[in-house]
Amino acid sequence: MKPVRIRSLFAASALFVACSAAFGADKPNVVILATGGTIAGAGADVAKSATYQAAKVPVDKLIAGIPTLADVAQVRGEQVFQIASESFTNDHLLKLGKRVAALARQPDVDGIVITHGTDTLEETAFFLNLVLKTDKPVVIVGSMRPGTAMSADGMLNLYNAVAVAGSKDSAGKGVLVTLNDEIHTGRDVTKTVNIKTEAFKSPWGPLGMIVEGKAYWFRAPAKRHTRGTEFDIDAIDTLAPVDIAYGYGNATPTAYRAFAQGGARALIHAGTGNGSVSDAVVPALQELRGKGVQIIRSSRVTGGGFVLRNAEQPDDKYDWVVAHDLNPQKARILASVALTRTSDTRELQRMFMEY
Ligand code: DGL
């Protein structure tokens, strides 16, 4: 394209004004990527906040439903998927991650919001926190009630998410999750209640709050993320298959063997207590480790604490990995990304301590 020659100062300032207006220089440019979930849900009865169909309302209607959104940002939407999030697959994660990375490279994009079902929102948030090499704010948001219900929470949650994504103070904090007036790191946050608006908690607490469109920060993430990550979404075309088996009284090795038979490269043990493994299961895990399957001990006990290496099990002797404070579903995400780079147990353990 031939360079534009500016013949006068007047022409230069006119061009600047035109460009500024076109790209919304007075307001941050935020792109909303919609994937479905309850925030896009619809029900037949205003009194029923838990009976509805998820993934019905398109992104343009979500944006149109918040007229004051233009006060905080220049917003445009893309409908990436329209699904309930329990149906997310590794392929959905990869497609979404690559789209976010491409948008983050665009100079006319200041922040990105992802609307998402709450069931697996925490998994997507941690995944993007691991693989996006950007400092730009990426904020994931959902809702616990459909827009058709009384006291629906999606409208304010989405408004808040756009405000956080458009704020320069949000940069460099990794992937963020905002619901119920709180701002969480995508690494820690998890869904703890299935039918209340106060559903998401972080074992180590939120990073801040968002009130009347303004973010108030109280702490920063402690683990590696985004710009500091060794993983790169643009270098990943397939995530490793990893499955989770729950620990409980009377447990048997059946599930672990079946998952390994199905091609799992790692098994996450959602153990009792400190990631304990039943005597009835240990021999099978040792055998599977001997066949090259990675064994990663997490815990079914969540909400603060972590699985200690060589405490409940001789991890060094068995060549197993501990998931540290990551719950089983988060441990699966990190294992599926980590195994794209290494199969070495020591390297995997380093990654579980650093991310
Ligand atoms: N089906 C669930 C999902 O899409 C609904 C829960 C929600 O989005 O809040 O995650």
Same domain, 266 and 182: no
Provide the pLDDT for residue 250: 98
To the nearest whole percent, how much of the chain has pLDDT over 90? 92
152 vs 65: CA distance, rounded Å? 12
Which of 295, 238, 298 lies closest to 270 in space, CA to CA? 298
Q: Do both 126 and 40 map to the same domain?
A: yes
3-state SS class at 68: helix
Last residue of a domain, one of 200, 228, 256: 228
Is residue 2 assigned to a domain? no
Residues 335 and 306 occupy one common structural domain = yes
Residues with CB under 6 A from ligand 1: 37-38, 54, 84-86, 117-119, 142, 144
Sign of CA dihedral 49, 189, 244, 130: positive
How far, in Å, from the CA of 156 to the mean position of ligand 1? 17
Q: Cα-Cα-Cα-Cα dihedral of 130, 133, 139, 143, to 10°?
A: -40
For residues 284 and 177, membership in a common domain is answered with: no
Q: Do 111 and 181 lie in a common domain?
A: yes
Q: For residue range 327-349, what is the model confidence (pLDDT) as tens digits? A: 999 999 999 999 999 999 999 99
Instruction: Give residue 26's pLDDT.
Output: 87
Tell me which of 53, 57, 81, 86 to substitute to probe ligand 1's pocket, judged by most ligand atoms within 8 Å of the beta carbon. 86
At residue 20, does pLDDT exceed 60?
no
Q: Is the pLDDT of residue 307 over 80?
A: yes
Domain boundary residue, one of 228, 259, 290: 228
Q: Is residue 6 a part of any domain in this protein?
A: no
User: Quick check: 12 pLDDT over 60?
Assistant: no
pLDDT at 25 over 70: no
Lowest mean pLDDT among 5-9, 76-80, 174-178: 5-9
Measured in Å, residue 304 CA sits from the centre of ligand 1 at 24
Ligand 1 centroid–CA 41 distance in Å is 8
Q: What six digits make up the tokens of 108?
A: 């006319």
Q: Are 176 and 258 part of one and the same domain? A: no
Same domain, 51 and 116: yes
Same domain, 184 and 248: no
Q: What is the CATH number of the domain that holds 273?
A: 3.40.50.40
Q: What is the mean pLDDT of residues 244-264?
A: 98
The pLDDT score that the predictor gives to residue 21 is 44
Provide the domain count of the chain.
2
266 shares its domain with 311:
yes
Residues 210, 298 within the same domain: no
Vertex 274, ends 273 and 278: CA angle to 5°?
70
Q: Is 324 within the bounds of a domain? A: yes
Residue 163 backbone dihedrals phi, psi, to 5 degrees: -65, -40
CATH number, position 98: 3.40.50.1170
Q: Which of 194, 228, 262 is the last residue of a domain?
A: 228
- Residues 268, 215 share a domain: no
Q: What is the pTM of this model?
A: 0.93
> Could you tell me if 207 and 254 lie in one domain?
no
Domain interval for residue 202: 28-228
3-7, 17-21, 195-199, 332-336 — which is least confidently predicted?
A: 17-21
pLDDT digits (tens, 9 = 90+) for 196-242: 999 999 999 999 999 999 999 999 999 999 999 999 999 999 999 99
Query: Residues with catalytic annotation?
Result: 38
Residues 6+ apart with CB under 8 A from 295: 266, 267, 269, 285, 288, 289, 318, 320, 321
Whether 17 is covered by a domain: the verdict is no
